[in-house]
Amino acid sequence: MSFALDVKNEILNHDFSLKQMKMLLTGFLKFNGEIIYNDNEVLYQISCNNNALVRGIYKILKQFYKEDFQTTIIDLPIKVKNKKLFRILLTKNVKDFLEDLKIYDFKNNKKIIEIEDVSGKNSFEKHQDLIRAYVSGVFIAVGSVNSPETPNYHLELQFKFENEAIYFLNLMHSFDFDFKIVTRRNNFVVYLKKSMLVSDFLKFIDAAESVMAFENTRIGRDLKNNVIRYINTQIHNQKNITKTGNRQIEEINLIINKGMLSKLSLKAQVLAKARLKNPETSFSELVQVLEGEGIKITKSGVSNLFKIISKLAKQIKEG
């Protein structure tokens, strides 16, 4: 089972109040449901390709839709990842049911995008528990989140219409979630990419266990990446030190072979001999070596002396 399915199943198993369950159902059915007109009848069809999610939605649906409804299972082609499609068909009193959940306005023949039950001054703060339940339902319907074990952190919700995506975007901005929006294959996708925001959103939709799993994996992976990054930096630095040391040794040997070492200052001569004995030593370590010889010097002083040595070696090469 994917991490996204784990999150959705955890939400459906959360202990919601009756009002919260109704808001969750509203959020889910708004974006995972289709009105079907059959002669003079109005039907509503819900589709899902995961058995566990269907059972969770079915359980909540029974709390608010007291009529009987049809369930069918459709076998999908073998090449499809999820082999079965589960459908629930509501056939009786559908208009009343959808209007009660504030999903569809049949009088004006339009889908209701806003959360009507939480309108008014300071509504977001006052009704935060209901909004969280609503957002949980929307996420179950159209949301997905990458496993924290993957290279990139990513949580998204896909909407068919731009006004739906923009309303959700603005709703989440009210809770300081910096969702972005992009179009993809004729859908409007709102998404988060920062790991802390993904974690906070999972907390917002009451997926506490998933938050713990996400954080534990993220911290472990980030720690591993930091260790690898540190080791790679150390290896890179050591390679540079070795390369520089080898070049300096070549220059010093050239000066010695030409009998020109006395052309250097006493400090430079001591440094040259120290480099020959310590070919892979850093400038910081050479400072300590020279201090052991009674010579006070800084890293920049060591660098300047090597420049003088290089200049003399170049003069010798050029004759």
Q: Using the 8-state DSSP alphabet, how is residue 77 labeled? A: P
In the chain, what percentage of residues exceed pLDDT 90? 31
| Contact (Cβ atoms closer than 8 angstroms) between residue 60 and residue 169 | no
Q: How far apart are CA 207 and CA 220, in angstroms?
A: 20
Write the pLDDT tens digit of every residue in 4-33: 999 999 999 988 999 999 999 999 999 998
Among 106-110, 112-116, 288-292, the minimum mean pLDDT is found in 112-116
Write the pLDDT tens digit of every residue in 290-318: 888 888 989 999 899 989 998 988 888 88
Rounded average pLDDT over 134-154: 90
Give the DSSP letter string of 218-269.
Answer: HHHHHHHHHHHHHHHHHHHHHHHHHHHHHHHHHHHHHHHHTT-GGGS-HHHH
Q: Which residues pair with 43 in a beta bridge?
A: 36
- At residue 201 the predicted structure's pLDDT band, cuts being 50, 70 and 90, is very high
Element (H, E) at 82: none
Per-state percent for the chain, helix, strand, coil, to nearest 5: 55, 15, 25
Instruction: Indicate if the pLDDT at residue 124 is higher than 70.
Output: no
Residue type, 3: F
What per-residue confidence (pLDDT) applies to 83? 67
Q: Residue 142 half-sphere exposure, CB side, CA atoms within 13 Å? A: 23
Most confident of 47-51, 139-143, 192-196, 206-210: 139-143
Q: How far apart are CA 150 and CA 252, in angstroms?
A: 51
What is the fold, at CATH topology level, of the domain defined by 3-206? Endonuclease I-creI (3.10.28)
In the chain, what percentage of residues exceed pLDDT 70? 93
- At residue 117 the predicted structure's pLDDT band, cuts being 50, 70 and 90, is low
Instruction: Indicate if the pLDDT at residue 252 is higher than 60.
Output: yes
Rounded average pLDDT over 209-237: 78
What per-residue confidence (pLDDT) applies to 119? 52
Write the pLDDT tens digit of every residue in 76-99: 655 556 667 888 888 888 899 999
Q: Is the pTM of this model over 0.85?
A: no
Q: How far apart are CA 295 and CA 285, in angstroms?
A: 13
What per-residue confidence (pLDDT) applies to 10? 92
What per-residue confidence (pLDDT) applies to 144? 94
Write the pLDDT tens digit of every residue in 274-284: 888 888 888 88
Q: Tell me the two tokens of residue 163.
A: 């006004």
Q: What is the average pLDDT value for the chain, to the nearest integer?
A: 86
More confident residue, 88 or 125: 88
Degrees to nearest 5, angle at CA 270 with 267 and 274:
135
| Contact (Cβ atoms closer than 8 angstroms) between residue 84 and residue 49 | yes
Q: For the chain, give every residue range classified as CATH 3.10.28.10.
A: 3-206
What per-residue confidence (pLDDT) applies to 80? 53
Write the pLDDT tens digit of every residue in 161-174: 999 999 999 999 98
